[in-house]
Amino acid sequence: MSVGQRFAASMRLRTADSWRAVLAHRFLAGMSDGTLPGAAFRVYMVQDYLFLIEYSRVLALATAKATSLDEMGHLANLVDATVTVEMQLHRDFAARVGISAAELEGAQMLPECHAYTCHLLAVAWAEPVEVIAASLLPCQLGYAEITASLAAKGTPSLAEHAEWVAAYTADEYVRLASWLGERVDGLAEQAGPRLLARMEDVYRASLRLEHGFWDMAFGGGEQ
């Protein structure tokens, strides 16, 4: 990363090919044009619910490692938004398609979900807040970009897809995601070469696992 570049924008640019693959993924394309199989969306929603439970733990660990009260407050807001808003979206969807709360809570993680959450939790337990925050960017900022791209193509025809897009384009979600990007930028400016390299490594790892999460809905591996 050259002097003067902001971390989030720099990493987005340097991983542009990977991001193009995510934005063009057939899961997201199918959500946009109405061709996404219902079974694939169902798999995704159940697994993402399980993911969010562990993601909330990661955010809580980041909150505990925050270096200021302001940072602690924003991260705590991210925990609350994840637990109350995002997970309620999944519970509402599950109820509409006949997945009971017990079934949702008792579902088993698929390997892609397990790999992603294990990566994030390992980072959260072992690393400083700078590295934790960098590991979260492909998910937190990524969903804001993905849904903005989908919204620009028009409201998805299926209600559950439209609801999903609306949740991640909502002002509160975008505000918190943008704050995280700005906070990582600030932390990166103060980071030495070794810490900055570690931040870059976990960002790239998270992005690879993020792509795999979309593949998961089709049984692993985009077809």
Closest by CA position to 123, among listed 59, 207, 176: 59
Contact in structure between 163 and 93 (CB atoms under 8 Å): yes
SS3 string, 130-197, reads HHHHHHHHHHHHHHHHHHHHHHHCCCCCCHHHHHHHHHHHCHHHHHHHHHHHHHHHHHHHHCCHHHHH
Contact in structure between 47 and 167 (CB atoms under 8 Å): no
- Say whether 118 is catalytic: no
Looking at 71, 160, 200, 210, which residue is catalytic?
Answer: 210
- Say whether 113 is catalytic: no
Backbone φ and ψ of 195, nearest 5°: -65, -40
Q: Distance of CA 38 to CAs 2, 69, 123, Å?
A: 45, 43, 33
Looking at 139, 160, 182, 189, which residue is catalytic?
Answer: 139
Q: Return d(Cα 186, Cα 205) in angstroms, integer.
A: 21
Q: How many CB atoms lie within 10 A of CB 221?
A: 9
Q: Return d(Cα 165, Cα 159) in angstroms, integer.
A: 10
User: Which residues are known to be catalytic?
Assistant: 139, 210
